[in-house]
Chains A and B, each alone.
Chain A
Amino acid sequence: MLRNVMVGLLAVLLLGAAAVAADEPVTIEFWHAMSSGHQPNLQKLVDDFMVAYPHITVTPVYQGSYSSLQGKINAAVAAGNLPAIAQVYENWITPLESILYPIGPHMAPGEAEDIIDGLVPSNTFNGVLTTVPFNKSIMVLYYNADLIATPPATWAEFYDVAKSLTADLDGDGTIDRYGTALRPAANPEQFLTFLDQAGGSILNADWTEVTINDAPGMAAIQFCGSLIPYTFVTSEYISDHIGKIAMFIDTSAGYPYNLTAANNAGFQLGVAMLPVGPVTQGSMIQGTNLAVFDVPNQTQAQKDAAVLLARFMLRAENTVFWATKSGYQPVTKSAYELQAWKDFVAANPYQQAMSAQMLLGFSQILHPNYGDMRTVLSTKFDEIMRGAVSPLDGLNDMAAEIELLLEE
């Protein structure tokens, strides 16, 4: 009897100690690359989190542009002073997989399943949801609504509209208005979107073979090649040249800039879903995720706090707040059902296309060499669209260079 009482008391003491430990003050750093326009909204989310979890103090730390943040993370890996949580692109952390603290196993039932399907693969390492999506945007079709009454719904229509609207308006022998525009060097995701729509991919499912130059890849690149005479190719923001472009594929996050540019150019901006390709209407999702680091300089309490923050950001009301303020898209299914989001979409009709497109989105592959592969894609896609190499030769060059990266 006494023994049972002693065991019971010990259990109560241990539970009590654990409860006290759970509420011990803990401070974590959250490294991000959000510019000053977004920072007040990010701070609001962090403040709300600290109200919900008063024992946790979160310090958001701006680390410059995405490339600066990546550089800082790499330096911090070497120095052993990573933060508890950071905003990351998939290809930054694929080489750092071993020091990621998986968030999925610490989520409540249904939380992981609530993440939009297209975002799950790019956050899943070895079958475990390791990171979670944060600020995500999707490729959509922007068009000059004064010129295009009904946006093209298929590749064939896209080609026809691009061709018919490319024009030398003043008859001086140079094109004044292009049917479309691409940023191949800066945004090879435009090609990856066409590739997905044709049913292709860079690699096969188990990453043992390069499949980019299979039949779907050839169809995608030939379609891009057919657009060359009607495409304005640039490395700058398309919004800088919007006055001479009839329609273009660009990230949803660029909407405010595209709208301002369209207003300046004196036309009405339309937003539509991408034309349907031979196989899908997919669109590449871009943007970063949240990663928690499993490194010696972070205590278990700090890692737990970081996981709580990541989960907090996924709550429907929070991802909706972030989306309505930042221009990114909500990242969970339940968010799209939230009345606040529906009201926002009703008040901002352009969001209908973005929301619908987001639910058809796909993400980049998590191959450790994806960063280098992306460089190959951007270089070769740029050469193709500028006419420096034929589409099929360029595609085969891409495949050969990616093959070398695969063998590394």
Chain B
Amino acid sequence: MLTRSEAGQLARQRAYRVLLYFLMFLGCAIMLLPFFWMLTTSLKTEAQAMRMPPMWIPSKLHWENYILAWNRAPFGRYFFNSFFVSIASTVGEVFTTILAAYAFAKMRFFGKNALFAILLGTMMIPGEMLLIPNYVTLTRLGWLDRYEGLIIPWIVSVFGIFLLRQFFRAIPDELWDAARIDGCRRSRFLWRIVVPLSKPAIFTVGLFKFLGSWNAYQWVLLMTNSEKMRTIPVGLATFSSDIGTAYHLLMAASVMAIVPILVLFFFTQKQFIQGIARTGIK
């Protein structure tokens, strides 16, 4: 039998929980609204897509938008390129980031801190400023309209190095001392002990890289001229012009473009959330 004060406390707790769930539901709804609009717009006619105020659910579902959108550009090739470039860039960046972050976190060498400060300083330079110099450099290397130009410049990330360095620094030095006593070399220690312990952070670096690469538009457009080298975001841009946008087709193509990302997120959300929680990224 609950006392009156206990019953009151329980009621307050229930009310608090209801309020909490309501706010979370509201937050979810707000976050999902653009996706819902994207999905329903992909099934509208052009006129319905332009309607103001927006028509949320079309009277008839126009699945043919997906076929029309698919046929507007060589999306099959774009998907292949997006996958190939994103995976190669991610693998490359994770590899170089692990090596650099370990060196900055655990090794002693002359000018380490100064070098790290310089490296961080490069983050202050807006990417747009470097577009043309990088384009000129890669053109001279003969990497225009080639996978090398889309992948190699992006396999190093200062942000990734910074993130992993912070994570690696939290790993106790005693582990290295113990490993060294057992005759372990640095490379073995890195790949067999440090990396497995840092999986969430490495996953985060990889996932951010994959997303960034999947969504990359300006660089791909700049570095490529032929359809066979272009990626999905370039395909999406063809639905817009300065005078208007074919929203219904753009949204159909966008739905197709985000499906792989959603699948990736469903399979990796645990690591993704852990990585964010442990590395403090917001």
Contact = CB atoms under 8 A, between A and B. Distances in A.
B49 to A, nearest CB: 9
Interface string B228-268: 00000010011111111010000000000000000000000
A36 B139 CA distance: 27
B139 A79 contact: yes
Nearest to A251: B243
A29 to B, nearest CB: 7
Contact of B132 (A37, A39, A75, A257): A75
A239 B49 CA distance: 12
A17 B53 CA distance: 68
Nearest to B221: A64
B239 A36 contact: yes
B98 to A, nearest CB: 33
A350 interface: no
Contact of A64 (B46, B50, B237): B237
Interface in B184-237: 217-218, 221-222, 225-226, 234, 237
Contacts of B139: 79-81
Summarize A's interface: helix, strand, loop or mixed.
helix
Nearest to A68: B221
Interface string A124-167: 00000000000001000000000000000000000000000000
B136 interface: yes
B52 interface: yes
A248 B226 CA distance: 40
- Most chain B CB neighbours (cut-off 10 Å) among A36, A64, A65, A251: A36
B242 A65 contact: yes
B218 A68 contact: yes
Interface residues of A, number: 40
B17 interface: no
A95 interface: no
A78 B51 CA distance: 44
- Most chain A CB neighbours (cut-off 10 Å) among B139, B222, B237, B242: B242
Contacts of A38: 241
Contacts of B50: 239-240, 257, 260-261, 264
A260 B247 CA distance: 13
Given A72-B222, A75-B222, A239-B50, A39 B238 contact: yes
Contacts of B131: 71, 75
A35 B73 CA distance: 10
Nearest to B234: A64
B52 A240 contact: yes
B162 to A, nearest CB: 29
Given A79-B135, A81-B139, A260-B47, A35 B241 contact: yes
B51 to A, nearest CB: 5
A37 B246 contact: yes
Interface string A248-291: 00010110110011011100000000000000000000000000
Given A75-B136, A260-B46, A264-B50, A237 B244 contact: yes
23 contacts: A35-B239, A35-B241, A36-B72, A36-B239, A37-B241, A61-B226, A62-B238, A63-B221, A64-B217, A64-B237, A65-B240, A71-B131, A71-B218, A75-B136, A242-B52, A251-B243, A256-B244, A257-B243, A260-B46, A260-B47, A260-B50, A263-B47, A264-B51
